[in-house]
Amino acid sequence: MEKLKGKVAIITGATQGMGRATAELFASEGARVVVNGRNSTAGEDLVQMIRQKGGEALFIRADVREYDENQRLMETAVDAYGNPDILVLNAGILGLGSITGVSFETWKNTLDTNLNAVFYMLRLGLPLMKEKGGSVVVTGSVATHKGFPNHAAYCASKGAVHSLVRQAAVDYGPEVRINVVQPGPVDTELYRSSAVAFPNSDTILDEVPGSLPLKRTGTPADVANAILFLASEDSSWITGSVLAIDGGATAG
């Protein structure tokens, strides 16, 4: 349908899971996609797959925890395709541990990845996007509204991201729309890795679907479709909003 025809999209954390599904979908909708991640093999494989299907994509390896790396990512993307129309800020890690148990290194690494990297890319991208307008979609989490065992750094980072997005929407409208997708239990490597934090780690993943109103875990494609909606003109009067894609997890 080419809802993103002619658009330039930068997607962080795009080498697996929800980010990869979003990159594939965006390319199929006509966007020129800049794929970011730290796994060069996975990134180049994704780019080749997109190109084989007739899409246009570029992989840029960068560690979004570092401002200089974000700056290089943005500059390289602009040199290749021009100013971005869409940012999908999806890079994230779990950073497991309770407040008294999490290491300072893990705490810092989680905040750097889940929160500071969003700030860095917004700081770099928003001035470029205000010239012609655009859309930013940030991957949040139901952890903003629900506590989970031994997820102190993760919950804190995602809560802060939601607040940052709402504030940014006030400062940068009407030219740029900025929204959050709020995934619940989506079947990704990150989700499966989180099981170890729960007392019932051996059974928790099997128990989750039955606890949801829609009785299944989500797929990366479920989230990618929501990100496409917020990135496209279909959501032209939406900014500062949080869109839950959680199978009803926050409703129950």
Q: Is residue 174 part of a domain?
A: yes
Q: Is residue 161 part of a domain?
A: yes
Active site residue 3: no
Q: Is residue 201 part of a domain?
A: no
Q: Is residue 147 part of a domain?
A: yes
Tell me whether the omega of the peptide bond preceding residue 149 falls within 30 degrees of 0, making it cis: no
pLDDT per position as a tens digit, 178-199: 999 999 999 999 999 999 999 9
Span 211-234, average pLDDT? 98
Q: Is residue 197 part of a domain?
A: no
- Report the CATH number at residue 223: 3.40.50.720
Average pLDDT of the chain, as a whole number: 97
Domain ranges, residue 51: 8-186+219-242
Name the domain count of the chain: 1
Taking the C-alpha atoms of residue 234 and residue 249, their distance in angstroms, rounded to an integer, is: 25
Query: 7, 28, 135, 154: which one is catalytic?
Result: 154
Yes or no: say if 187 and 216 are a contact pair by the CB < 8 Å rule: no
* Residue of 2, 3, 166, 20 whose CA lies nearest to 11: 20
Answer whether 0.85 is exceeded by the pTM. Answer: yes
pLDDT per position as a tens digit, 62-99: 999 999 999 999 999 999 999 999 999 999 999 999 99
Token output for 242: 């949080």
Yes or no: say if 238 and 175 are a contact pair by the CB < 8 Å rule: no
Active site residue 191: no
Q: Is residue 26 part of a domain?
A: yes
Q: Is residue 36 part of a domain?
A: yes
The predicted structure's pLDDT at residue 131:
86
Q: Are strands 176-183 and 56-61 parallel, antiparallel or unpaired?
A: unpaired
Q: Is the pLDDT of residue 1 over 90?
A: no
Query: 7, 158, 194, 235: which one is catalytic?
Result: 158
What torsion, rounded to 10 degrees, do the Cα atoms 39, 195, 214, 160 define? -70
Yes or no: say if 198 and 204 are a contact pair by the CB < 8 Å rule: yes
Active site residue 130: no
Work out the percent of the chain whose per-residue pLDDT is above 90. Answer: 98
Q: Is residue 198 part of a domain?
A: no
Yes or no: say if 29 and 5 are a contact pair by the CB < 8 Å rule: yes
